[in-house]
Amino acid sequence: MKLILIVNPHAKNGYAYSKFLTLKDMCDREGIEYWITGTPWQAVEKIRRFCTEHPEEKTLFAGIGGDGTMHELVNGAAGFPHAYVASISAGSGNDFGRHFNSFPFDSESIHELSKWDGRNEKHDAAQFKGDKNGWFVNNLGVGFDAAVAISSNRSRVKKWLNRLKLGRLIYVYYLIFHLLRYKPQSMTVEIDGKTLELEKVWFITIANQPYYGGGMMIAPSACSDDGKLDLTIVHRLSRIKFLAVFLSVFFGWHLRFKEVKTKQGKRIKIETADKALIHTDGEFGGLLTQHHPLFVEVAPKSWLFVPPEKQGS
Ligand SMILES: Nc1ncnc2c1ncn2[C@@H]1O[C@H](COP(=O)(O)OP(=O)(O)OP(=O)(O)O)[C@@H](O)[C@H]1O
């Protein structure tokens, strides 16, 4: 059994990297392999290549980063029966760790992982196909929430605000920015063969676990090993009421609004005659357009997770 640490040097604005440097000598001394990624998506390609070239070797890939890093690890490992995934928490939002449980970022965790005995849990992920293809493990969003997440991720100011521990301000800024400009759209959603025609849709999220946006409980009933995905659909409401709904997600009160629909399903198709942004685990997931409908399908128990032995880290 093999352990490979995967360090995203950009997670939490370089915190993951600078902290890892304090543990690097220990890893070198103890022969623990680590990859420090050079570009986004490199981890996915390296994991797939490694798993293909070493089909007999049970390998545990432990991500040092946040949700974007774990998104890459699951995209690399999903579908390989000998690839296992763990998370060492070193990101800003860490919704992955909130649900699945991460290891704390310290030498004890690395030691524990290096003595891993094969213990694991099987979880669902989902595959999406559209303008872009891939897997997600936390959630996928279409529309307003994707616009806010993607604008915030791309913002150069975010880095500086994060250094001042004011990173959330950038979400508030883009929340207001898109709230004033966003045009809700008509969408057709097919869930396990049943069609819903929806008007004035602000956003649709498809969740595998409850948390998103750094701790908001968007889908309280979502369960990552039930073979189903949980949809939250927000539509047909004024800008001002939408703001109230969006803010209520922080307290989990959004389900009390009649304009918020929840559904469960295994196979989902979303179409629009307009154009909408998609995020997958908070990362850019392509565009929903007339020419590129979005297909999402749950992949039950398709990846193997190694949680800390002491839960709640
Ligand atoms: N070597 C790299 N160079 C640049 N970007 C990278 C590299 N490796 C991964 N990334 C990207 O870095 C971004 C941020 O990573 P991540 O999401 O893990 O950290 P975070 O934003 O601090 O945490 P969270 O998403 O939990 O708030 C992701 O989009 C990921 O794809």
Mean pLDDT, consecutive 10-residue stretches, the chain (313 aa), reads 96 92 97 97 98 97 97 96 97 91 96 95 97 96 95 82 74 89 97 98 97 89 97 96 90 92 98 96 96 97 93 53
Provide φ and ψ at 79, rounded to 5°. Answer: 90, -15
213 lines ligand 1 (CB under 6 A): no
Determine the pLDDT at residue 213.
Answer: 83
Determine the pLDDT at residue 36.
Answer: 98
Determine the pLDDT at residue 156.
Answer: 80
- Supply angle C-alpha 301, 118, 97, rounded to 5: 60
Could you identify the residue written with the tokens 């521990």? 165
Q: CA-to-CA distance for 308 and 87, rounded, in angstroms?
A: 9
Q: CA-to-CA distance for 210 and 5, rounded, in angstroms?
A: 27
| DSSP code at position 103 | B
Query: Where do the DSSP E strands lie in the chain?
Result: 2-7, 33-36, 59-65, 83-89, 121-129, 133-136, 139-143, 185-191, 194-207, 211-212, 216-217, 229-235, 260-265, 267-272, 275-280, 283-289, 294-305
Q: CA-to-CA distance for 124 and 302, rounded, in angstroms?
A: 6
Q: Which atom of ligand 1 is nearest the CA belonging to 70? A: 18
Nearest CA to ligand 1 atom 10: 40
Q: CA-to-CA distance for 230 and 207, rounded, in angstroms?
A: 5
Give yes or no for a contact between 249 and 286, defined as CB atoms under 8 angstroms apart.
no
Determine the pLDDT at residue 313.
Answer: 47
Task: Determine the longest span between alpha carbons in the chain, in angstroms.
Answer: 60
Closest CA to 264 of 222, 235, 201, 202: 222
ipTM above 0.85, yes or no: yes
Domains and CATH numbers, the chain: 2-119 (3.40.50.10330), 129-300 (2.60.200.40)
- Using most ligand atoms within 8 A of CB, pick from 39, 64, 67, 98 the residue to mutate for ligand 1: 67
Give yes or no for a contact between 144 and 274, defined as CB atoms under 8 angstroms apart.
no
Listed in sequence order, the residues at least 6 apart from 108 whose beta carbon sits closer than 8 Å to its beta carbon are none
Determine the pLDDT at residue 260.
Answer: 97
Determine the pLDDT at residue 160.
Answer: 77
Provide φ and ψ at 54, rounded to 5°. Answer: -125, 65
Q: CA-to-CA distance for 29 and 45, rounded, in angstroms?
A: 27
Determine the pLDDT at residue 311.
Answer: 61
Nearest CA to ligand 1 atom 18: 66
Could you identify the residue written with the tokens 């995020």? 279
